[in-house]
């Protein structure tokens, strides 16, 4: 067992990362003994760009690589070093992720400043940026400068959906070694669900087959009854657009499901954070300095409210986006069946329904509906109000 067992269905990527980690173990630095090993060269580089579709395991692969770099045995998955890296608590591995809509320059500068120091317990300072595509322009510029003039002991691991300039700037991309991940096969995902998560074979196989190659989604569908119910409601939308009233009812249902997920995911956490802040700021205290402490507390509360609102917004958008991906997959299956193509279905458990839809409608209609779903995703990315975007989509779906 090693940290590479965490990376599902990516044998070529694992081989490349393993080779780089093995080379990195023998890299010597400018102040090392000349007899201590080779200087850094093509086997290891200071900046990597992990790309791949959602669910391919970009951040998982990057975290496994970070563990292999820091572990004395190249990622044994048994030592304290591996455990702390994988848990996100290693002193020399700095993970950057956002629960909001973007990564700010302030966040990036703080991490880059820490990463420029010498490692405290390991050979490398590792900066793992999970959402490199969400960096603001100023944040990208800060990262670019750090990547252009790296500390010889610092490694940057950037994760993004693709190498397209909309996701990662051309200048940053040109200074990184690319590592492209692919969508894992359903069989590989099912095996992970069975062996690592203890899920029964039938449920694991079903969840893997309808997850679209997204490991996290498969795990949620296998474990969470609410996630399965939300999927059922979304896939019922094509059958529930017989009248104008049903169109708006379907739109309201999708938005209500997203709001419910926001409440379930962030509600308890938001309340706990508010209570923790109140205690840390001395709520209910008396004596000298209370007035100034209260002013500081109000400022901190505003910052917390802003962060929580951003997290809620992203959670809602992510929930709606998952629903739209399921809908797009449905109409894709109808279109594929209409052409008679022999390819794997996105929703194999809807085979009879898809067959009927393909028989009763035209391929042109299926394509227009698929385009309407994709247009809704694009509208949400440009900050169109979710209610307007979803209502426009379901209206187009009914029109066909």
Q: Could you report the per-residue pLDDT of 75-127, keeping only the tens digit for each?
A: 999 999 999 999 999 999 999 887 777 888 988 998 888 888 889 888 899 99
249 CB neighbour count, 10 Å cutoff: 13
Give the per-residue pLDDT at 268.
Answer: 73
Give the per-residue pLDDT at 55.
Answer: 84
Query: Does residue 33 fall inside a structural domain?
Result: no
Do 340 and 265 share a structural domain?
yes
Q: What's the mean per-residue pLDDT of the chain?
A: 87
- Retrieve residue 183's tokens: 């969508």
Do 17 and 158 share a structural domain?
yes
Query: Does residue 216 fall inside a structural domain?
Result: yes
Do 161 and 67 share a structural domain?
yes
| Each residue's pLDDT tens digit, 255-275 | 888 888 888 878 777 788 777
Averaged over 212-221, what is the pLDDT? 90
**Percent of the chain predicted with pLDDT > 90:** 54
pTM of the model: 0.80
Give the per-residue pLDDT at 393.
Answer: 94
Do 208 and 170 share a structural domain?
no
- 166 near 192, Cβ under 8 Å? no
Query: Does residue 151 fall inside a structural domain?
Result: yes
Domain boundary residue among 180, 201, 233? 180
Averaged over 52-77, what is the pLDDT? 93
Do 136 and 96 share a structural domain?
yes
Give the per-residue pLDDT at 310.
Answer: 81
Do 13 and 143 share a structural domain?
yes
Do 269 and 160 share a structural domain?
no
Do 67 and 145 share a structural domain?
yes
Query: Does residue 297 fall inside a structural domain?
Result: no
Averaged over 5-34, what is the pLDDT? 83
Backbone angles phi, psi at 154, to 5 degrees: -110, 135
Q: What is the DSSP string of 322-363?
A: HHHHHHHHHHHHHHHHHHT-----SSGGGHHHHHHHHHHS-H
- Residue 161 belongs to what domain range? 3-28+42-180
Do 174 and 189 share a structural domain?
no
Domain boundary residue among 150, 180, 210? 180
- 3-class SS string, 92-135: CEEEECCCCCCECHHHHHHHHHHHCCCCCCCCCEEEEECCHHHE
Reply yes or no on whether the pLDDT at 38 is more than 50. Answer: no
Give the per-residue pLDDT at 287.
Answer: 52
Q: How many CA atoms lie within 13 A of 117 on its CB side?
A: 12
Reply yes or no on whether the pLDDT at 286 is more than 60. Answer: no
Query: Does residue 155 fall inside a structural domain?
Result: yes
Give the per-residue pLDDT at 294.
Answer: 62
Give the per-residue pLDDT at 36.
Answer: 45
Query: Does residue 228 fall inside a structural domain?
Result: no
Domain boundary residue among 180, 205, 235? 180
The contacts of residue 347 (CB under 8 Å, 6+ apart) are 210, 235, 326, 329, 330, 333, 354
Query: Does residue 298 fall inside a structural domain?
Result: no
Do 91 and 55 share a structural domain?
yes
Do 341 and 206 share a structural domain?
no
Query: Does residue 34 fall inside a structural domain?
Result: no
Count of domains forming the chain = 3
Name the pLDDT band for 288 (thresholds 50, 70, 90).
low
Give the per-residue pLDDT at 264.
Answer: 81
Give the per-residue pLDDT at 284.
Answer: 53
Do 66 and 9 share a structural domain?
yes
Domain containing residue 173: CATH number: 3.40.50.300
């Amino acid at each position: 067992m090693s940290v590479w067992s965490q990376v599902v269905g990516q044998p070529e990527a694992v081989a490349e990362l393993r080779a780089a980690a093995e080379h990195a173990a023998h890299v010597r630095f400018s102040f090392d003994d000349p007899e201590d090993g080779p200087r850094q060269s093509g086997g290891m580089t200071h900046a990597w760009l992990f790309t791949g579709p959602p669910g391919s395991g970009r951040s998982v692969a990057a975290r496994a690589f970070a563990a292999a770099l820091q572990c004395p045995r190249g990622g044994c998955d048994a030592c304290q070093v591996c455990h702390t890296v994988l848990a996100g608590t290693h002193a020399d591995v700095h993970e950057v992720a956002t629960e909001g809509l973007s990564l700010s320059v302030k966040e990036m500068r703080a991490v880059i400043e820490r990463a420029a120091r010498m490692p405290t317990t390991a050979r490398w300072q590792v900066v793992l940026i999970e959402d490199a595509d969400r960096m603001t322009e100023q944040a990208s510029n800060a990262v670019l400068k750090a990547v252009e003039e790296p500390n010889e002991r610092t490694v940057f691991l950037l994760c993004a959906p693709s190498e397209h300039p909309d996701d990662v700037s051309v200048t940053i991309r040109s200074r990184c070694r690319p590592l492209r991940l692919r969508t894992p096969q359903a069989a590989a995902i099912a095996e992970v669900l069975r062996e690592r998560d203890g899920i029964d074979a039938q449920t694991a196989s079903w969840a893997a087959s309808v997850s679209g190659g997204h490991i996290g989604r498969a795990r949620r569908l296998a474990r969470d009854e609410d996630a399965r119910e939300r999927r059922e409601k979304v896939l019922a939308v094509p059958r529930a657009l017989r009248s104008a009233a049903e169109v708006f009812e379907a739109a309201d249902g999708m938005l209500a499901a997203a709001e419910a997920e926001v409440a379930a995911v962030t509600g308890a956490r938001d309340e706990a954070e508010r209570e923790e802040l109140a205690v840390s700021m001395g709520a209910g205290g008396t004596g000298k300095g209370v007035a100034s402490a209260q002013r500081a507390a109000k400022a901190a509360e505003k910052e917390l409210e802003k962060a929580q609102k951003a997290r809620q917004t992203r959670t809602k958008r992510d929930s709606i986006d998952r629903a739209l991906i399921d809908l797009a997959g449905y109409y894709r299956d109808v279109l594929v069946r209409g052409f008679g193509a022999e390819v794997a279905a996105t929703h194999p458990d809807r085979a009879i329904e898809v067959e009927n839809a393909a028989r009763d409608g035209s391929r042109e209609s299926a394509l227009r509906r698929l385009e309407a779903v994709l247009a809704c995703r694009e509208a949400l990315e440009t900050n169109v109000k979710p209610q307007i975007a979803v209502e426009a989509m379901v209206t187009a779906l009914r029109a066909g």
